[in-house]
Chain A
Amino acid sequence: MRPGSLPLTDQFERGLAAPICLTWELTYACNLSCVHCLSSSGRRDPRELTTAECRAVIGELQRMQVFYVNIGGGEPTVRPDFWALVDYATSHDVGVKFSTNGVKITPGIARRLAGRDYVDVQISLDGATPEVNDAVRGRGSYEVALRAMRNLADAGLAGFKISVVMTRHNIGQLEEFKAIADRFGAQLRITRLRPAGRGAGVWDELHPTAGQQRELYDWLVAHGTDVLTGDSFFHLSGYGGALPGLGMCGAGRVVCLIDPVGDVYACPFAIHPSFLAGNVRDPGGFAEVWRHSELFRGLRRPRAEGACDSCAAFGSCRGGCMAAKFFTGLPLDGPDPECVKGHGERALAAATPAPRPSPDHSHRTAPHRAAPHRAAPRGPVPLTLSRRRPVPACNANPLAGFAPE
């Protein structure tokens, strides 16, 4: 086969010599305690990377030609060296987007940001009204976010992003979110709620219903590339035409996460020992982990046949989100819990107990909510005949059941 004649998606699923972009959580410290926080943030971890270690990571990213990093947390701006690190990155060929709840975006900071070419700002907002937003992000968080947006707009920084996690309670506010973005000259970005971190405990009550999911898909199709998604909804392409983006799980193949203590995970929605590839403090640093870790090598091997492969939608949905499956106790080679064909809902009735979120940096006053015990079926248990030996429920290896071709 001619090199390059494979569809690009297939090439990417085999991994690249370096990520295309990645998320870097600078701190677990946060002034908020959002109920669905994917990194269970709140309290700083004492083993945080030092400023010097952060500069070393940036040097590695420069050499690997990682063009763009999403700097998040926790709340990254609470680190005293945050602005210096952003400047260091952008002066070393690494473009930066940072995700913030807006707490430090004063008029002065906004003016400084407006003068920087390679820094993108992303403000988190999970409700178009204080009632909806603050129920998830905490009292007063809506006002803080809007104030930050006003400061950015007043400083002439158009095109900043407003990033929304879609839930059962805000799907009805899509037009209002767009109006807020338009008001500030900002770009709306909507993303998928995943049962990761503290999200595990609220996913059942917060994830969109099937009907809302369809509504969301139709709205996205109507808005084309006006609205960003971070390719969060590639699992919905089973409804019809694919949405813009690569259309595949990027974890360990084109993206990954570097966490505040230097741990490298497959992606920010998979912060769990089962998806820990290594640490940047190990010999060989980040490059060694990206290129040679056992976990990432496993993720880049072609998948063996699984429950999804006979489904007509698989070519477009690729089996959906690995993290969503893992944290709902579903097998990774089966349907996404929100599979548009309904296969996920059926699979959940027979799922193994969901793994406990770990690590946990939540403020002690805002701990994880207990996830419902999903293993108790509420009705007849559908039996699936399988040619493969079932993986024991105690096997926490995310690659269990995978067999290379």
Chain B
Amino acid sequence: MACAASTEPAGRFDLDAPWRLDAQVRVRPEEFGALLYHFGTRQLSFLKSPALAEVVRSLAAHPSARAACTAAGVPAADLMRYARALQTLAASQMIRERETA
């Protein structure tokens, strides 16, 4: 499959900021993880791990992406992988930083 996958360094993603799904994104759980669809951009993202699907679904409920990862059971050693994945989703507008009230 020829797909776009971000090769941007994970360091660019702010794990300690609060994040949320874009309002136009829908999450469809799958055995392999989840399908994300952005109704505005018509873009599809395939999340290839159930843990990542849980992180993405629960972003708005946590004070930071790091907290969402921890709550979803992501081991510390995997955090950079997940940060890279979240950076890809941020770059394609699937997730956004929450405004801090």
Contacts and interface: CB of A to CB of B under 8 A. Distances in A.
Given A4-B32, A4-B50, A93-B26, A247 B1 contact: yes
B81 interface: no
B44 A7 contact: no
Contacts of B44: 20, 67
Interface in B1-51: 1-3, 26, 28, 30-33, 35, 37, 39-40, 42, 44, 46, 48-50
A7 B2 CA distance: 12
B37 A8 contact: no
Contacts of B3: 244
Contacts of B35: 20
Interface string A375-387: 0000000000000
A87 B71 CA distance: 40
Contacts of B42: 68, 95, 120
Interface in A1-37: 3-4, 6-9, 11, 16-18, 20
For chain B, give the interface size range.
10 to 19
A243 B42 CA distance: 19
Interface in A83-130: 93, 95, 117-118, 120
B2 A3 contact: no
Contact of B46 (A6, A8, A244): A8
A131 B52 CA distance: 53
Contact of A4 (B2, B37, B39, B49): B49
Contact of A17 (B26, B30, B39, B49): B30
Contact of B1 (A7, A17, A117, A118): A7
Nearest to A95: B39
29 contacts: A3-B32, A3-B50, A4-B48, A4-B49, A4-B50, A8-B32, A8-B48, A9-B1, A11-B31, A18-B28, A20-B44, A65-B26, A65-B28, A67-B28, A67-B44, A68-B37, A93-B26, A95-B39, A117-B39, A117-B40, A118-B39, A120-B42, A241-B2, A243-B2, A244-B3, A245-B1, A246-B1, A247-B1, A247-B2
Interface of A: 3-4, 6-9, 11, 16-18, 20, 65, 67-68, 93, 95, 117-118, 120, 241-248
Interface of B: 1-3, 26, 28, 30-33, 35, 37, 39-40, 42, 44, 46, 48-50
